[in-house]
Amino acid sequence: MREINDRFDGARVLADLNALRAIGAYKTGVHKPTFSEPHLRSLGWLAERLPEAGLAAAIDGIGNVLGTSAKAGPKLLAGSHLESQNHAGWLDGPLGVIYALEAARVINTDPAINGAVEVASWCDEEGHFGSFLGSRSFVGTVTEADIDAARDRSSGRTMRQALSDAGFAGRPRLQAEPGRHIGYLEAHIEQGDALESSGLKIGVVTSIVGIWQYRIAFTGEQNHAGTTRMAVRKDAGLALARFCVAIDDSFPALCGPRTVWTTGRITLEPGAPSIIPGRAEMLFQIRDDNPEVIARLEQHLQHMAAEATAQGRCGVAVERIRTGAPAKMTSAFQDAIEAASAAGAEGKSVRMPSGAGHDAQILATIMPAAMLFVPSIGGISHHWTENTADADIITGAAVFVETCHRLLTQAVAAR
């Protein structure tokens, strides 16, 4: 191991991350929506760096950047994404890409190591145009019709137009070559405060949680807010408020240790100050990595709705509109990250699920996959103040490079 840690360069990792931060800078973060000028410049920046790691660079027909190695031996795929949410943080995405680049620089140029790290930047992980379009294209589940239909949710620009504007139109879309990779490794900021609040440095991701989403609709009777007595009202908005509170009061006794639930949107109809809402709707989301927990909570939701309909003044209907698919991370890969943490992070690691979605869940559908997290200061995410201490960034990089080396060495040994 000594030779790897000797040649790994933490200062180079920080310099690269800061170079990407300077492209599309916004306050201390960045603003790089998918296919924006700074995003495209970041893709070009990466493509120019890849040869330093002995990789041939390509940007494909959906904006994925892929660096491929001609070196003999096993290949590990590693990466993340370069676009950002609007006015968001500098590390969400670039961290995993630069860790992969650093691992490739250290490993691919070392003739003593059998095998190579190949680097990927997946396009549009942040979902400006769709859901994981880049990584899904690579695993083969995006059709040309899907691309025809995709539009930027902010500007309305079609994906076809954006690809044409970027000069990517007509290029082939690269797809995974069956059997080429021993697996996929991705690093990311935690986006929560679990590591920081426990003084830990590395999160060994056990699974990426599934997202279940529900439309909960309340039907009352629209009426005049001045002339309708309180005793005869059927106020759908009030029924919704009571349901929200009832969820929050009853879920803790039924949920799993890391279940989270969120009411992100509420609509009252017609939404006028002088009209009692006749209809109300909430978008409700539950995340967990255990479908049994979800089944229990969903049954409880339906029970609450039936009870509210029977005993209250309004009808309540719960409709599932998105079904989660938790992705288990490969356990041998988790072991490798943990072992590398023992060496490079004083053993300050913990196994934990990822509450956020990542490209690793898409890659996991076709190959072994794993993720490691570094701490987020204050747990802040999707905001320009998102940050990680420089020392923690370097520790994470060291563990990442070490993990890549271990996975390739194990693959050689297993052959």
250 touches a second copy by CB under 8 A = no
Please tell me whether residue 381 binds a second copy under the rule CB under 8 A: yes
Report if residue 265 touches a second copy, rule: CB under 8 A: yes
Provide the minimum distance between the beta carbon of 253 and a second copy in the complex, in angstroms, as a whole number.
13
Q: Which is nearer to a second copy, 161 or 213 (CB)?
A: 213
Measured from the CB of residue 285, what is the shortest distance to a second copy in angstroms? 5
- In the complex with a second copy, which residue's Cβ is closer, 135 or 354? 354
Rule CB under 8 A: say whether 9 interacts with a second copy: no
Instruction: Select 71 or 234, whichever has its Cβ closest to a second copy.
Output: 234
Answer yes or no whether residue 248 interacts with a second copy by CB under 8 A.
yes
CB of 137 to a second copy, least distance (A): 22
Q: Return the residue of 70, 111, 170, 274 that touches a second copy, per CB under 8 A.
A: 274
Tell me which of 58, 328, 379, 410 binds a second copy, using CB under 8 A: 379
State which of positions 97-156 bind a second copy (CB under 8 A). Answer: none
Q: Which is nearer to a second copy, 291 or 379 (CB)?
A: 379
- Taking the least distance from each CB to a second copy, the nearer of 164 and 262 is 262
How many binding residues for a second copy (CB under 8 A)?
58
The residue (of 108 and 354) whose beta carbon lies closer to a second copy is 354
Rule CB under 8 A: choose which of 263, 309, 330, 410 binds a second copy: 263
- 3-state SS string over the chain? CHHHHHHCCHHHHHHHHHHHHHCCEECCEECCCCCCHHHHHHHHHHHHHHHHHCEEEEECCCCCEEEEECCCCCEEEEEECCCCCCCECCCCCHHHHHHHHHHHHHHHCCCCCCCEEEEEECCCCCCCCCCCHHHHHHHCCCCHHHHHHCECCCCCCEHHHHHHHHCCCCCCCCCCCCCCEEEEEEEEECCCCHHHHHCCCEEEEEEECEEEEEEEEEECCCEECCCCCHHHCCCHHHHHHHHHHHHHHHHHHCCCCCCEEEEEEEEEECCCCCEECCEEEEEEEEEECCHHHHHHHHHHHHHHHHHHHHHCCCEEEEEEEECCCCEECCHHHHHHHHHHHHHHCCCCEEEEEECCCCHHHHHCCCCCEEEEEECCHHHCCCCCCCCCCHHHHHHHHHHHHHHHHHHHHHHHHHC
Instruction: Give the pairing of strands 260-269 and 275-276.
Output: unpaired
Name which of 188 and 406 has its Cβ closer to a second copy: 188
Stretch that binds a second copy, among 11-19, 187-195, 302-310, 341-349 (CB under 8 A): 187-195
Of residues 117 and 205, the one with the C-beta less far from a second copy: 205
Instruction: Tell me the closest approach of the beta carbon of residue 380 to a second copy, in angstroms.
Output: 7
Footprint of a second copy (CB under 8 A): 190-194, 209, 211, 213, 222-230, 232, 235, 237-238, 240-242, 244-245, 248, 252, 258-268, 271-277, 283, 285, 287, 354-357, 379-383
